[in-house]
Amino acid sequence: MSPPRIRVAAYVIRYRSTPELLVFDHIGAPEAGTQVPAGGGRPDESLEEAVLREVAEETGLTEVSIIRPIAVDDRPHPETGQPRQTTFFQLTAPADSDDTWHHHVHGDGGDAGLLFACRFVPIPLAERLADAQDAWLGRIDRRTGKAESPS
């Protein structure tokens, strides 16, 4: 069996009267579903560097801070069945971040050139995220912005 593809995923939380999660949709590809920033790590970067890069590439947000990693998910890719290991991080964004915006994806990944519709949505979510990306949201402490310890 081949080693898993190493990935990161970002729960970027904006705290206002209620916590809100950064999500995006692919403009022109609604079948992709609503997602959080996520992608593969590079051999020359730490997981923390990878998650910050993915957030910036996919949403344009650079004023985010990592709180901590909250989970490691070993589910295979839903379409190919290839092994992958995704580390989910909790990050925080400034309360005055825009509510909605469009972002052209940059970088050299497979999403380069795509247009994403980004927005913050209240937690708990009204709808599930693509690829079960919301599986670890229960580990977010919605009151303080700190990740809860795994049980």
Evaluate whether residue 70 is within a structural domain: yes
CATH code of residue 67: 3.90.79.10
Residue pLDDT, tens place only, 60-111: 999 999 999 999 999 988 888 899 999 999 999 999 999 999 999 876 777 8
Q: Dihedral sign, CA of 12, 15, 19, 23? A: negative
Residue 141 has a pLDDT of: 66
* Domain count of the fold of the chain: 1
Evaluate whether residue 150 is within a structural domain: no
Evaluate whether residue 147 is within a structural domain: no
pTM: 0.91
Evaluate whether residue 108 is within a structural domain: yes
**128 is in which domain, residue-wise?**
5-134
Evaluate whether residue 119 is within a structural domain: yes
CB 25 within 8 A of CB 34: yes
